[in-house]
Amino acid sequence: MIPEWRGHIQKRRDGSEIVNYDNPDFPSYIYNGCIFPGASWERNIHFHDDIEMLAVKDSDMSYSVNGETIPLHPGDCLFVNSRQLHYSIATSDGDSHYIIFVFHPSILHTSAQLVTNYIEPVTCNMSLPYILFRKGTPDTAELYDTLSKLPDSPLNQFEITTGAFRIWSIILRHSAAQLARTIRNDSIVKAAAIKDMLSFITDNYAQQITLADIAAAGKVSKAYCNRLFHKFTNRTPMENLTRYRLLMVSGMLSDPKYSLAQIAGLTGFASVSYMSERFRETYGTSPGKVRRGETDYRDGLSYRMFSTLSIDNTIYRQIVSLRYLEFYEKFGSGIDAVFDEREKSALFYVCFSRDKVVGCIRLNFMPDHLRLSQFTVSHDYRCIGIGRHLLTLCEREAVAYGVYTVRLNAQVTALGFYSQFGYIPEDRKHPSPKTGILHQEMYKRLETDGNGA
């Protein structure tokens, strides 16, 4: 199965999403996200067993839940119940930022009686797809405050559990009133049919399937199949099939062991030319450019390397500002904390969102290894694969230089992130002299044929 990366959704046999938790042993994830027209995760319909809470920070956006579009404004909060079909919709020209908290109900399972009386009556009730909390009420203010504080402690299980119970107490107060607006049974039946058809697409996208095949999976006619997909996803069934195939294509482009011809065959496209045509129509660039790292079509991102940047350079000033705001400002450090003896001889890989620097990493080539440092991604652009792509580009650069060891000094809170990409910790943990945060040296051996990156 292709792993989740930058908007990709990994699914079970029943079509439900396998949520990529912050900690595999604790079922939750928290992040500051953004949505804008053309983002890969816009209108990407899915459902999961987990509860989803959303707080809108700035600019209008919408959410679709079981085919109903819900306009959202800054300060609003939204509860999406377990196993409800949903997706985000960009309604502003620019970025709309939000906080999202996804957690499995098992976090709240402290006793059997609690589950029976207070958890399952909500999570198992298909007549309660969502609860909307508009700005201006005490409960909305409490929800927003709770969600705003959670991203500061993504790995603190006690604070996450406390926040989940605080949120659930508000949900319980509102659930009875929401249930009073009865959801018609036929809406539940329609949602079940869509789930069956989406699951069929997930399982069979690599095959040559037709509209009749998709409709049969939902036990509906072809005409009714078209109407259901338009209502729930604003796309036709075949458009959903193509969209899912393209998502699988984009995930495979990062793996050099697959040629473009192999990718086309494995994702259900009849030819490379047809796959490339649909890819270009959807994302505005070619699969080849994406594979070479020249562009990141899904979220308007591009990546460039800079060998020399003067202090007066506009891009360099953005890099310095990003590093300072993300790492040093909260510790009361001055701007000089950003600089050290490696700065003048460094290369920089930079990620841009349009003309704005949203990620960067510093490279210093040593006699026997590549040293990575000052790795920074803007808080509003995390969890969409920028970090992974920057690491991949740096590793490719190392191999091109004939260097096959990469080293970095990681914050202990980021050890898990680097470990999933093959970085190995060594030595003891030590505090940073500038911030006091614990760090640990890590390294990775690259394959000499260039495929290890």
Going by CATH, does the domain composed of 300-445 fall within 3.40.630.30? yes
Distance of alpha carbon 321 from alpha carbon 450, whole angstroms: 34
Distance of alpha carbon 23 from alpha carbon 12, whole angstroms: 19
Distance of alpha carbon 384 from alpha carbon 379, whole angstroms: 11
**Predicted pLDDT of residue 373:** 93
Helices H / strands E in the chain, number of each: 14, 15
Planar angle of CA 127, 130, 134, nearest 5 degrees: 140
Starting at the earlier edge strand, list the strands of the sheet with 61-65. Answer: 68-72, 61-65, 86-90
Q: Are 91 and 62 in contact (CB under 8 A)?
A: yes
Reading the block at residue 41, the tokens are 């995760």
**Topology (CATH) of 28-179:** Jelly Rolls (2.60.120)
The residues, any chain, with a CB within 8 Å of residue 247's CB and separated by 6 or more, are 7, 8, 9, 40, 44
Buried b (16+ CB within 10 A) or exposed e, 319-345: bbebbbebbbeeeeeeeebbeeeebee
**Predicted pLDDT of residue 451:** 43
**Its pTM surpasses 0.85:** no
Distance of alpha carbon 275 from alpha carbon 246, whole angstroms: 8
State the burial class of residue 271 (Cβ atoms within 10 Å of its Cβ: 0-12, 13-18, 19+): exposed
Q: Taking the CB of residue 185, how many other CB atoms lie within 10 A of it?
A: 10
Per-residue pLDDT of the chain (453 residues; tens, 9 = 90+): 223 333 445 666 666 777 878 777 889 988 877 887 766 667 778 899 999 999 999 889 999 998 889 999 999 999 999 999 999 998 887 778 899 999 999 999 988 888 888 898 899 887 889 999 999 999 999 999 999 988 655 568 888 999 999 999 999 988 876 654 444 556 667 888 898 998 899 889 999 999 999 999 999 999 999 999 988 888 899 998 998 898 888 878 877 888 999 999 999 999 999 999 988 887 777 888 878 766 655 556 778 888 766 777 788 888 889 888 887 777 777 777 778 878 888 899 998 876 788 999 999 999 999 999 999 998 877 767 788 889 988 998 898 889 999 999 998 888 888 998 899 999 788 888 877 888 999 999 998 654 443
Distance of alpha carbon 167 from alpha carbon 102, whole angstroms: 12
Please name which of 339, 287, 285 lies closest in space to residue 311, comparing C-alpha atoms: 339
Planar angle of CA 296, 317, 399, nearest 5 degrees: 45
For the chain, domain boundaries: 28-179, 185-297, 300-445
Q: Are 453 and 349 in contact (CB under 8 A)?
A: no
What number does CATH give the domain 185-297?
Answer: 1.10.10.60
What residues pair up with 51 in beta bridges, in sequence order? 103
The residues, any chain, with a CB within 8 Å of residue 413's CB and separated by 6 or more, are 155
Whether 28-179 shares its CATH topology with 300-445 is answered no
How many Cα atoms are found within 13 Å in the side-chain-facing hemisphere of 384? Answer: 24
Helix, strand, or coil here: 32? strand
